[in-house]
Amino acid sequence: MYAAFRSIGAYVPEKVLTNDDLTKMVDTTDEWITKRTGIKERRIAAKDETTSDMAVKAAEKAIERSGLKKSDIDMIVVATISPDYFNMPSTATVVAHKMGLDKVTAFDISAACTGFIYVLSIAKAFIESGMKKNVLIIGAEKMSAITDYSDRGTCILFGDGAGAAVICATENKKEAIIDLHTASDGSLGDFLMTPEGGTGNPHQNELKAEACFIQMKGNETFKIAVRTLTNDVIDILQHNDIMSSEITHFIPHQANYRIIKAVGDALKLNDDQVVLTVHKYGNTSGASIPMAMNDLYEEGNLKAGDLMLLDAFGGGLTWGSALLPFAGK
Ligand code: UT7
Protein backbone atom coordinates (compact mmCIF):
# COMPACT_ATOMS: atom_id res chain seq x y z
CA MET A 1 0.00 0.00 0.00
CA TYR A 2 1.18 3.50 -0.88
CA ALA A 3 0.22 6.95 0.47
CA ALA A 4 -1.31 9.46 -1.97
CA PHE A 5 -1.70 13.23 -1.50
CA ARG A 6 -5.38 13.39 -2.46
CA SER A 7 -6.54 16.95 -1.75
CA ILE A 8 -5.72 20.34 -0.28
CA GLY A 9 -7.65 23.10 1.51
CA ALA A 10 -6.84 26.26 3.45
CA TYR A 11 -8.33 29.11 5.40
CA VAL A 12 -7.04 32.66 5.84
CA PRO A 13 -8.52 35.12 8.34
CA GLU A 14 -10.09 38.30 6.98
CA LYS A 15 -8.07 40.95 8.82
CA VAL A 16 -5.02 42.22 6.92
CA LEU A 17 -2.00 43.68 8.75
CA THR A 18 0.12 45.67 6.28
CA ASN A 19 3.71 46.86 6.55
CA ASP A 20 2.37 50.38 6.89
CA ASP A 21 0.25 49.27 9.86
CA LEU A 22 3.43 47.88 11.48
CA THR A 23 5.28 51.19 11.06
CA LYS A 24 2.79 52.62 13.57
CA MET A 25 3.67 49.89 16.07
CA VAL A 26 7.48 49.54 15.86
CA ASP A 27 10.46 51.38 14.37
CA THR A 28 10.40 49.94 10.86
CA THR A 29 9.54 50.81 7.26
CA ASP A 30 7.69 49.19 4.39
CA GLU A 31 10.91 49.45 2.39
CA TRP A 32 13.00 47.56 5.01
CA ILE A 33 10.44 44.77 5.42
CA THR A 34 9.92 44.37 1.67
CA LYS A 35 13.64 44.36 0.88
CA ARG A 36 14.71 42.02 3.70
CA THR A 37 11.76 39.58 3.66
CA GLY A 38 9.52 40.08 0.61
CA ILE A 39 6.52 40.42 2.94
CA LYS A 40 3.93 43.15 2.19
CA GLU A 41 1.08 42.00 4.43
CA ARG A 42 -0.11 39.14 6.62
CA ARG A 43 -3.50 37.95 7.97
CA ILE A 44 -4.47 38.19 11.63
CA ALA A 45 -7.15 35.99 13.23
CA ALA A 46 -10.02 37.59 15.13
CA LYS A 47 -9.63 37.84 18.90
CA ASP A 48 -12.07 34.98 19.53
CA GLU A 49 -10.89 32.88 16.55
CA THR A 50 -8.79 29.92 17.67
CA THR A 51 -6.23 27.77 15.89
CA SER A 52 -8.77 24.90 15.80
CA ASP A 53 -11.44 27.19 14.26
CA MET A 54 -9.10 27.94 11.36
CA ALA A 55 -8.01 24.29 11.13
CA VAL A 56 -11.61 23.06 10.83
CA LYS A 57 -12.35 25.48 7.96
CA ALA A 58 -9.26 24.31 6.06
CA ALA A 59 -10.04 20.65 6.80
CA GLU A 60 -13.62 20.85 5.57
CA LYS A 61 -12.41 22.18 2.20
CA ALA A 62 -9.76 19.45 1.91
CA ILE A 63 -12.25 16.68 2.71
CA GLU A 64 -14.83 18.04 0.28
CA ARG A 65 -12.18 18.07 -2.48
CA SER A 66 -10.98 14.53 -1.65
CA GLY A 67 -14.25 12.89 -2.71
CA LEU A 68 -14.39 11.16 0.70
CA LYS A 69 -17.03 11.47 3.37
CA LYS A 70 -16.01 13.04 6.66
CA SER A 71 -16.67 9.68 8.33
CA ASP A 72 -13.98 8.04 6.13
CA ILE A 73 -11.23 9.94 8.01
CA ASP A 74 -9.55 7.62 10.52
CA MET A 75 -6.79 9.88 11.89
CA ILE A 76 -6.18 13.61 12.38
CA VAL A 77 -2.71 15.03 13.02
CA VAL A 78 -2.22 18.74 13.61
CA ALA A 79 1.12 20.54 13.34
CA THR A 80 1.05 23.67 15.46
CA ILE A 81 3.13 25.75 17.86
CA SER A 82 0.13 27.91 18.76
CA PRO A 83 -2.34 25.32 20.07
CA ASP A 84 -5.76 26.19 21.50
CA TYR A 85 -4.57 25.04 24.95
CA PHE A 86 -1.12 25.17 26.51
CA ASN A 87 -0.87 21.45 27.36
CA MET A 88 -4.15 19.65 26.73
CA PRO A 89 -6.49 18.85 25.12
CA SER A 90 -4.57 18.72 21.87
CA THR A 91 -5.77 20.95 19.03
CA ALA A 92 -6.33 17.79 16.97
CA THR A 93 -8.90 16.45 19.45
CA VAL A 94 -10.64 19.84 19.51
CA VAL A 95 -10.72 19.79 15.69
CA ALA A 96 -12.04 16.21 15.67
CA HIS A 97 -14.81 17.12 18.10
CA LYS A 98 -15.82 20.25 16.16
CA MET A 99 -16.03 18.11 13.01
CA GLY A 100 -18.13 15.43 14.73
CA LEU A 101 -15.31 12.86 14.52
CA ASP A 102 -14.98 11.95 18.19
CA LYS A 103 -13.75 8.37 17.67
CA VAL A 104 -10.73 9.00 15.42
CA THR A 105 -7.07 8.89 16.45
CA ALA A 106 -6.09 12.54 16.97
CA PHE A 107 -2.88 14.17 18.17
CA ASP A 108 -0.64 17.22 17.70
CA ILE A 109 3.02 17.40 16.80
CA SER A 110 5.45 20.23 17.50
CA ALA A 111 8.02 20.83 14.77
CA ALA A 112 7.44 24.57 14.23
CA CYS A 113 7.75 25.68 10.61
CA THR A 114 8.67 22.13 9.50
CA GLY A 115 5.43 20.83 11.01
CA PHE A 116 3.63 20.11 7.75
CA ILE A 117 6.45 17.92 6.43
CA TYR A 118 6.53 16.06 9.75
CA VAL A 119 2.75 15.38 9.69
CA LEU A 120 3.02 14.28 6.07
CA SER A 121 5.71 11.77 7.08
CA ILE A 122 3.48 10.49 9.91
CA ALA A 123 0.51 10.05 7.54
CA LYS A 124 2.73 8.18 5.06
CA ALA A 125 4.08 5.84 7.74
CA PHE A 126 0.63 5.03 9.22
CA ILE A 127 -0.83 4.36 5.76
CA GLU A 128 2.07 2.30 4.43
CA SER A 129 2.07 0.16 7.59
CA GLY A 130 -1.64 -0.54 7.03
CA MET A 131 -2.70 1.03 10.34
CA LYS A 132 -4.77 3.85 8.79
CA LYS A 133 -6.42 4.51 5.42
CA ASN A 134 -7.46 8.16 5.21
CA VAL A 135 -5.44 10.62 7.26
CA LEU A 136 -6.32 14.30 7.63
CA ILE A 137 -3.17 16.37 8.19
CA ILE A 138 -3.32 20.01 9.20
CA GLY A 139 -0.88 22.88 9.72
CA ALA A 140 -2.63 25.62 11.67
CA GLU A 141 -1.22 28.65 13.46
CA LYS A 142 -2.42 31.71 15.33
CA MET A 143 1.10 33.17 15.34
CA SER A 144 -0.28 36.58 16.36
CA ALA A 145 -1.04 35.05 19.78
CA ILE A 146 2.64 34.21 20.41
CA THR A 147 4.23 37.24 18.72
CA ASP A 148 5.67 40.19 20.61
CA TYR A 149 4.35 43.28 18.79
CA SER A 150 7.03 45.45 20.39
CA ASP A 151 9.88 43.39 18.85
CA ARG A 152 10.55 44.58 15.29
CA GLY A 153 12.85 41.61 14.65
CA THR A 154 9.94 39.15 14.78
CA CYS A 155 6.57 40.93 14.60
CA ILE A 156 7.03 41.93 10.96
CA LEU A 157 7.35 38.27 9.95
CA PHE A 158 4.43 36.26 11.27
CA GLY A 159 0.81 35.78 10.25
CA ASP A 160 -2.15 33.48 10.94
CA GLY A 161 -3.87 30.79 8.87
CA ALA A 162 -4.41 27.08 8.32
CA GLY A 163 -3.93 24.50 5.61
CA ALA A 164 -5.09 20.87 5.45
CA ALA A 165 -4.67 17.84 3.23
CA VAL A 166 -6.17 14.37 2.94
CA ILE A 167 -3.64 11.57 2.51
CA CYS A 168 -5.13 8.24 1.39
CA ALA A 169 -4.07 4.64 0.89
CA THR A 170 -3.64 3.69 -2.77
CA GLU A 171 -2.39 0.70 -4.72
CA ASN A 172 -1.43 2.96 -7.64
CA LYS A 173 2.32 3.55 -7.41
CA LYS A 174 2.07 6.57 -9.75
CA GLU A 175 0.11 8.40 -7.02
CA ALA A 176 2.53 7.52 -4.22
CA ILE A 177 4.54 10.00 -2.13
CA ILE A 178 8.03 9.35 -3.53
CA ASP A 179 10.30 10.35 -0.67
CA LEU A 180 10.37 12.35 2.54
CA HIS A 181 13.17 13.55 4.76
CA THR A 182 12.88 15.03 8.27
CA ALA A 183 15.69 16.05 10.63
CA SER A 184 16.57 18.15 13.67
CA ASP A 185 19.43 19.73 15.60
CA GLY A 186 18.49 20.47 19.21
CA SER A 187 21.89 22.03 19.94
CA LEU A 188 20.60 25.15 18.13
CA GLY A 189 17.26 25.21 19.95
CA ASP A 190 17.88 28.73 21.24
CA PHE A 191 17.90 30.18 17.70
CA LEU A 192 14.10 30.20 17.73
CA MET A 193 12.19 29.64 20.91
CA THR A 194 9.52 30.62 23.42
CA PRO A 195 11.85 30.44 26.43
CA GLU A 196 9.51 30.67 29.39
CA GLY A 197 6.56 28.93 30.98
CA GLY A 198 7.42 25.27 30.37
CA THR A 199 9.21 22.94 32.79
CA GLY A 200 12.56 24.19 31.46
CA ASN A 201 11.88 27.63 32.87
CA PRO A 202 8.69 27.41 34.94
CA HIS A 203 6.61 30.24 36.33
CA GLN A 204 5.93 29.45 39.97
CA ASN A 205 2.80 31.52 40.45
CA GLU A 206 1.33 32.95 37.30
CA LEU A 207 1.81 32.41 33.60
CA LYS A 208 2.46 35.72 31.85
CA ALA A 209 1.36 36.23 28.23
CA GLU A 210 4.96 37.19 27.36
CA ALA A 211 6.05 33.69 28.36
CA CYS A 212 4.66 32.40 25.10
CA PHE A 213 6.24 35.04 22.84
CA ILE A 214 8.72 33.96 20.17
CA GLN A 215 12.36 35.01 20.40
CA MET A 216 14.58 34.55 17.38
CA LYS A 217 18.23 34.94 16.41
CA GLY A 218 17.09 36.06 12.96
CA ASN A 219 20.34 36.47 11.08
CA GLU A 220 21.91 33.24 12.44
CA THR A 221 18.70 31.34 11.60
CA PHE A 222 18.66 32.86 8.11
CA LYS A 223 22.20 31.70 7.29
CA ILE A 224 21.76 28.15 8.55
CA ALA A 225 18.34 27.89 6.86
CA VAL A 226 19.79 28.70 3.43
CA ARG A 227 22.70 26.27 3.84
CA THR A 228 20.66 23.41 5.30
CA LEU A 229 17.72 23.68 2.90
CA THR A 230 19.94 23.87 -0.15
CA ASN A 231 21.78 20.68 0.85
CA ASP A 232 18.53 18.98 1.79
CA VAL A 233 16.69 19.57 -1.50
CA ILE A 234 19.78 18.66 -3.56
CA ASP A 235 20.05 15.41 -1.54
CA ILE A 236 16.42 14.37 -1.99
CA LEU A 237 16.55 14.99 -5.75
CA GLN A 238 19.85 13.14 -6.19
CA HIS A 239 18.70 10.26 -4.01
CA ASN A 240 15.67 9.78 -6.25
CA ASP A 241 17.47 10.45 -9.51
CA ILE A 242 15.20 13.38 -10.34
CA MET A 243 16.40 16.58 -12.06
CA SER A 244 15.20 19.94 -10.77
CA SER A 245 13.82 20.68 -14.26
CA GLU A 246 11.34 17.80 -13.73
CA ILE A 247 9.76 19.55 -10.72
CA THR A 248 6.41 21.14 -11.60
CA HIS A 249 6.07 23.11 -8.35
CA PHE A 250 8.66 23.92 -5.69
CA ILE A 251 6.52 24.78 -2.64
CA PRO A 252 8.87 25.93 0.14
CA HIS A 253 8.06 27.13 3.65
CA GLN A 254 7.33 30.84 3.27
CA ALA A 255 9.66 32.48 5.81
CA ASN A 256 11.61 34.96 3.74
CA TYR A 257 11.76 35.62 -0.02
CA ARG A 258 15.56 35.74 0.10
CA ILE A 259 15.77 32.20 1.56
CA ILE A 260 13.36 30.86 -1.09
CA LYS A 261 15.28 32.63 -3.87
CA ALA A 262 18.66 31.31 -2.67
CA VAL A 263 17.42 27.70 -2.58
CA GLY A 264 15.57 28.10 -5.90
CA ASP A 265 18.72 29.53 -7.52
CA ALA A 266 20.87 26.67 -6.16
CA LEU A 267 18.49 24.25 -7.89
CA LYS A 268 18.45 26.43 -11.05
CA LEU A 269 14.65 26.61 -10.91
CA ASN A 270 12.68 28.96 -13.15
CA ASP A 271 10.41 31.53 -11.52
CA ASP A 272 7.31 29.67 -12.75
CA GLN A 273 8.37 26.55 -10.81
CA VAL A 274 8.59 28.44 -7.50
CA VAL A 275 5.40 29.01 -5.48
CA LEU A 276 5.43 32.29 -3.54
CA THR A 277 2.85 33.53 -1.04
CA VAL A 278 5.18 35.15 1.51
CA HIS A 279 4.25 38.64 0.21
CA LYS A 280 0.59 38.22 1.17
CA TYR A 281 0.60 35.90 4.21
CA GLY A 282 4.04 36.38 5.83
CA ASN A 283 5.39 33.43 7.79
CA THR A 284 2.52 31.22 9.02
CA SER A 285 4.89 28.54 10.37
CA GLY A 286 3.45 25.00 9.95
CA ALA A 287 0.54 26.34 7.89
CA SER A 288 2.59 28.03 5.19
CA ILE A 289 3.21 25.10 2.81
CA PRO A 290 -0.42 23.87 2.64
CA MET A 291 -1.66 27.49 2.37
CA ALA A 292 0.67 28.06 -0.59
CA MET A 293 -0.37 24.77 -2.18
CA ASN A 294 -4.03 25.68 -1.73
CA ASP A 295 -3.54 29.01 -3.53
CA LEU A 296 -1.92 27.15 -6.42
CA TYR A 297 -4.89 24.74 -6.50
CA GLU A 298 -7.51 27.49 -6.35
CA GLU A 299 -5.75 29.38 -9.16
CA GLY A 300 -6.17 26.22 -11.28
CA ASN A 301 -2.43 25.57 -11.44
CA LEU A 302 -2.16 22.34 -9.42
CA LYS A 303 -3.16 19.31 -11.47
CA ALA A 304 -3.17 15.57 -10.80
CA GLY A 305 0.26 14.19 -11.65
CA ASP A 306 2.15 17.46 -11.04
CA LEU A 307 5.46 16.74 -9.29
CA MET A 308 5.91 18.78 -6.10
CA LEU A 309 9.07 19.46 -4.08
CA LEU A 310 8.43 20.77 -0.55
CA ASP A 311 10.99 22.07 1.92
CA ALA A 312 10.86 23.69 5.36
CA PHE A 313 13.09 24.90 8.17
CA GLY A 314 12.17 26.10 11.66
CA GLY A 315 12.41 26.04 15.43
CA GLY A 316 13.93 23.02 17.12
CA LEU A 317 15.84 23.40 14.91
CA THR A 318 13.97 21.17 12.49
CA TRP A 319 13.97 20.81 8.73
CA GLY A 320 12.79 18.51 6.00
CA SER A 321 11.80 18.03 2.40
CA ALA A 322 9.34 15.93 0.42
CA LEU A 323 9.03 14.79 -3.16
CA LEU A 324 5.57 13.75 -4.28
CA PRO A 325 2.98 13.93 -7.04
CA PHE A 326 -0.32 15.69 -6.42
CA ALA A 327 -2.69 12.72 -6.68
CA GLY A 328 -5.97 14.64 -6.86
CA LYS A 329 -9.41 13.07 -6.54
O1 UT7 B 1 10.40 30.27 9.72
C2 UT7 B 1 11.36 29.74 10.57
C3 UT7 B 1 12.70 30.13 10.21
N4 UT7 B 1 12.85 31.55 10.27
C5 UT7 B 1 13.58 32.14 9.41
O6 UT7 B 1 14.05 31.49 8.52
C7 UT7 B 1 13.80 33.60 9.57
C8 UT7 B 1 15.19 33.88 9.19
N9 UT7 B 1 15.62 35.26 9.38
C10 UT7 B 1 15.19 36.27 8.59
O11 UT7 B 1 14.28 36.16 7.80
C12 UT7 B 1 16.00 37.55 8.69
O13 UT7 B 1 17.13 37.32 9.47
C14 UT7 B 1 15.21 38.76 9.28
C15 UT7 B 1 14.20 39.24 8.27
C16 UT7 B 1 14.54 38.37 10.57
C17 UT7 B 1 16.19 39.90 9.55
O18 UT7 B 1 16.91 40.25 8.37
P19 UT7 B 1 18.49 40.38 8.38
O20 UT7 B 1 18.89 40.81 7.02
O21 UT7 B 1 19.07 39.10 8.89
O22 UT7 B 1 18.73 41.58 9.37
P23 UT7 B 1 19.55 41.62 10.75
O24 UT7 B 1 18.85 40.84 11.81
O25 UT7 B 1 20.98 41.27 10.48
O26 UT7 B 1 19.46 43.14 11.10
C27 UT7 B 1 20.06 44.15 10.27
C28 UT7 B 1 19.70 45.51 10.81
C29 UT7 B 1 19.95 45.64 12.32
O30 UT7 B 1 20.37 46.97 12.56
P31 UT7 B 1 21.94 47.30 12.73
O32 UT7 B 1 22.41 46.48 13.92
O33 UT7 B 1 22.60 46.90 11.46
O34 UT7 B 1 21.95 48.78 12.98
C35 UT7 B 1 18.60 45.45 12.95
O36 UT7 B 1 18.46 46.09 14.18
O37 UT7 B 1 18.29 45.75 10.65
C38 UT7 B 1 17.71 46.11 11.91
N39 UT7 B 1 16.32 45.62 11.94
C40 UT7 B 1 15.30 46.33 11.44
N41 UT7 B 1 15.24 47.54 10.85
C42 UT7 B 1 14.02 47.97 10.45
C43 UT7 B 1 15.86 44.44 12.40
N44 UT7 B 1 14.53 44.35 12.22
C45 UT7 B 1 14.15 45.52 11.64
C46 UT7 B 1 12.92 46.04 11.18
N47 UT7 B 1 12.89 47.26 10.60
N48 UT7 B 1 11.77 45.34 11.32
Q: According to the model, what pLDDT value does residue 212 have?
A: 83
Q: Could you list the beta-strand ranges (E) of 143-240.
A: 160-170, 179-184, 192-193, 215-216
Tell me the best of 31, 34, 36 to mutate to test the pocket of ligand 1, counting ligand atoms within 8 Å of each CB and taking the most: 36
Tell me the best of 256, 257, 261, 291 to mutate to test the pocket of ligand 1, counting ligand atoms within 8 Å of each CB and taking the most: 256
Q: According to the model, what pLDDT value does residue 203 have?
A: 74
Give the pLDDT confidence of 134-186 residue by residue, as tens digits.
999 999 999 999 999 999 999 999 999 999 999 999 999 999 999 999 999 99
Please give the distance, rounded to the nearest whole angstrom, from the Cα atom of residue 297 to the centre of ligand 1: 32
User: Secondary structure of the chain: what % helix, strand, coil (to 5)?
Assistant: 40, 25, 35
Q: Could you tell me the domains of the chain?
A: 1-329 (3.40.47.10)
Please give the distance, rounded to the nearest whole angstrom, from the Cα atom of residue 185 to the centre of ligand 1: 22
Which of the residues are catalytic? 113, 253, 283
Please give the distance, rounded to the nearest whole angstrom, from the Cα atom of residue 11 to the centre of ligand 1: 28
Give the pLDDT confidence of 252-305 residue by residue, as tens digits.
999 999 999 999 999 999 999 999 999 999 999 999 999 999 999 999 999 999
Question: Which residue owns the Cα nearest ligand 1 atom 27?
Answer: 219
Please give the distance, rounded to the nearest whole angstrom, from the Cα atom of residue 218 to the centre of ligand 1: 6
Ligand 1 pocket list (CB less than 6 A) = 28, 32, 36-37, 113, 152-153, 156, 218-219, 221-222, 225, 255-256, 259, 283, 313-314
Q: Do residues 233 and 267 touch, judged by C-beta distance below 8 A? A: yes
Question: Which residue owns the Cα nearest ligand 1 atom 26?
Answer: 219
Q: Is the pLDDT of residue 211 over 80?
A: no
Question: Which residue owns the Cα nearest ligand 1 atom 25?
Answer: 219
Counting residues of the chain whose pLDDT is more than 90, the rounded percentage is: 94
Beta partners for residue 208, in sequence order: none
201: Cα separation from own chain's centroid: 27
Reported pTM: 0.96
